[in-house]
Chains A and B, each alone.
Chain A
Amino acid sequence: MKHMGLILLFSAVVMIGTAYVTRLHERVRLLKAFKLQMQSIKRRFSVSRPPFTELFSDDDDPLTKPFSQLICECMKNGASAKDAVTAAFSSSCVLGFLKKDEREFLAGIYVSLSLCDIVSALGTLDNACEELDSYIEAAAQCERKNAKPVMSAAVYIGLAAVILLW
């Protein structure tokens, strides 16, 4: 029993470390997925001008798809674009990986897309992609800097806890 408990303790500490590293990695993936989505929207604008709810494609990244679907569903039920985007950002668990300023930035982009003319919309998308590049770079740097130390610390803490309690 004692050995089981120690093994579980060790596993729990390592899992906490893994969860943190995964969060860092998913943040980078999510930001890249949003950038791809904005590039896809920009391409769609060059072909036609679909209504807001049709800006999101079925080919979207699985990470952003639930977010897009939630927006479309809210708007089909009569919500404004702003309310739908706010609801999507607040209720999606995946988007919790993003920092607050990143979420607010993305929400602002989608809301402004629904309200501006085509020239402003294209400009907004260009600026958004540039800004997202800097967010992606910062997130990737954070991942590179912290992933290894955090995993190492988790393993050592886990081992130390096991040894101490043995």
Chain B
Amino acid sequence: MCESILRITELVSPVLTAALSSCLDMLCEIRLRADKPIVVYLLNSPYYVNPDGVLETICSENMLSVSFRQLQTLFAALCEYSVYKHIENAANGFITFSGGHRIGVCGSAVTDGGKVVSVCDITSLNIRAAKQITGCADVVFQNADIARGVLICGAPSSGKTTILRDMARTLSLDKIKKVAVVDERLEIASYCGGKCGFDVGLSDVYSGYPKSVAVMLAVRTMSPDFMICDELTGDDCKAVSMCFNCGVPMIAAVHCDSLLAAKRNRTVSELMSTGAFSSVVFLDGSIPANISSVVDYERYFE
């Protein structure tokens, strides 16, 4: 992780690299905005970088910033000077850098028939530092009935993908199960050029496949014991039902930060109604992959 993040920070500025080299393990995000100071989030607290490479909590005049032009050059560099390869993902608001780091992209949309087909004039980039925390899913294994499906709920950057990654590794290696990972956004395993960016054990990874396609292919051809997916939406209910009906337990994540919010959330309600999840795990978001509670199906519908 460190090496790939430092490659990114070197593209931005050596001063940024110097500022972050001693605190990479606490790094959550680097936010770059055109003609604005760079903001670094360590354990979800914001910091600014002064010209001497020192992190400060208060933003003053001379803080390290990026110009609009630098941002365009940086975007091209983050796309490995192969913008055509990444533009579809960029149109969906993100690109993935080698190492599994997802980079949120804001800019001007290029539309065709109401659909965003490309993006230009990049104005913001949000570099999210991906982490592997071995053992962070142990609480889930101890408190949830994995064999009947688990839904992991958490706010953005709370560590949902980190938990899924650890579950894939543990299930395939320690528990010797056949695990299929649907890595639609290339964040869970983060395969790049045939190399896996994270340790997902002996899992079979479908990189970049839409969930409905990957679930069908996996069930038909890889006979998985478990299916792992990230960031379910309401459109994925059909894929979830298919997986459940084929008898494959699913472990998946969804954006939602509390039980109350989950009950009010239409997506979560639809997903729970499929019957594919017997337990819901909530992350509190105070530190990455920190589990606050595990709720079973009956309690969810009380």
Contacts and interface: CB of A to CB of B under 8 A. Distances in A.
Interface residues of A, number: 18
Contacts, number: 41
A121 B88 CA distance: 14
A121 B81 contact: no
B76 A117 contact: no
Contacts of B81: 51-52, 75, 80-81, 114-115
Contacts of B80: 51-53
B76 A115 contact: yes
Contacts of B77: 80
Interface string B92-134: 0000000000000000000000000110000000000000000
Contacts of B85: 49-51
A75 B80 CA distance: 9
What does DSSP make chain A's interface, helix, strand, loop or mixed? helix
A156 interface: no
Contact of A45 (B83, B84, B87): B84
B82 interface: yes
A124 to B, nearest CB: 10
Interface residues of B, number: 12
B90 to A, nearest CB: 9
B73 interface: yes
A12 interface: no
Contacts of A114: 76, 81-83
A70 to B, nearest CB: 15
Contacts of A121: 84
A80 B77 CA distance: 7
Contact of A81 (B76, B87, B117): B76
B87 A118 contact: yes
A138 interface: no
Contacts of A116: 83-84
Nearest to A79: B81
